[in-house]
Homo-oligomer: A and B are copies of this chain.
């Protein structure tokens, strides 16, 4: 900026005014400054800018899991799009379900003075985020799951309703022995399990705890193995509700390997679901809307929007494609 000022024969202040289009500057001076700017190829230093007191860094932090998971990818895409539209840049950081990594990542983001934080929290206490919120005045929005111990805006999908819808759909197609596969201690799958139980109860279908399979890890491989066990057991289920995209893939692999006619409904839609040998019925949530809403909420908070913390629950919808409409074999 000083170089520009020198070249244009004005003071630094004047250049600043021209760049921001704020103060009163004579037309001719503006032209001279602009000429100098493009001659030098000057670009305002946003870092120095945000150092000034009361200035917003115009950068938000986005902390989530493995981008290879399409869920996180489309979340990120949507958040980045909204942020960019409002002039915010996005600092991306990942914490693969590891609380300690997450903590450090938050530190890095705060150190870079992000104006706000979008977090997909993993299990574990998040009271330290409350401190961040209070001490550094950095608003936070949680996505997909609420964080225990921290008070902030949350954007969720209707896990319980979706779980109930999936289960009810299978009941409606004649199933009475419906298995559910859940990942361990995830908030989301826990709520989906709740919906499952509720639907069973409502329809008077007896619950069989042997049909509730909690995996040690939420991987495709574990789900595949668990499904193998289920389907080759003495009293196999006639339908399976898998509560996660990864798990659904595992269930389908096992189903295909065993050539089993078991019905399946999965939570979360995925690509090519309609092109598999039997197209896959899913409960789909609008992942991009999740990201968009979170970003908008955050930017509102950064802009000083007051009020109590909000809790948004986005609707889900069941997409019938085939695996969910299979009827149980006649006994």
Contacts and interface: CB of A to CB of B under 8 A. Distances in A.
Interface of A: 41, 43-48, 50-51, 57, 59, 62, 66-68, 70, 73-74, 76-77, 80-81, 84, 89-94, 105, 107-113, 131, 135-136, 249, 252-253, 256, 270-272, 275-277
Contacts of A109: 89
Given A84-B93, A256-B275, A43 B77 contact: no
A73 B68 contact: yes
**Among the interface residues A67, A77, A81, A90, which one has the most CB atoms of the partner chain B within 10 A?**
A67
A111 B44 contact: yes
Contact of A73 (B44, B45, B70, B253): B70
Contacts of A107: 43
Given A46-B111, A68-B74, A249 B272 contact: yes
Copies of this chain assembled into the complex: 2
Contacts of A93: 80, 84, 89-90
5 closest residue pairs by CB, A with B: A67-B77, A92-B92, A73-B73, A46-B111, A67-B73
Contacts of A270: 271-272
A284 to B, nearest CB: 15
Nearest to A110: B43
Nearest to A134: B41
A94 B77 contact: yes
B76 A135 contact: no
**Among the interface residues A70, A112, A276, which one has the most CB atoms of the partner chain B within 10 A?**
A112
A67 B94 contact: no
B92 A90 contact: yes
Nearest to A74: B68
B89 A59 contact: no
A73 B67 CA distance: 6
13 contacts: A43-B136, A47-B50, A47-B51, A68-B73, A68-B77, A76-B92, A89-B91, A89-B109, A91-B91, A91-B92, A270-B272, A271-B272, A275-B277
Given A43-B136, A59-B112, 10 more contacts: A44-B111, A47-B57, A68-B73, A73-B73, A77-B94, A81-B94, A91-B92, A256-B275, A270-B272, A276-B276
B67 A89 contact: no
**Among the interface residues A47, A91, A113, which one has the most CB atoms of the partner chain B within 10 A?**
A47
A224 to B, nearest CB: 12
Contacts of A47: 47, 50-51, 57, 112-113
A233 to B, nearest CB: 24
Contacts of A253: 275
Nearest to A112: B46
A90 B105 CA distance: 12
Nearest to A61: B89
A275 B274 CA distance: 12
Contacts of A110: 43
Contacts of A272: 249, 270-272, 276
Given A51-B47, A74-B68, A272-B271, A135 B41 contact: yes
Contacts of A108: 46, 89
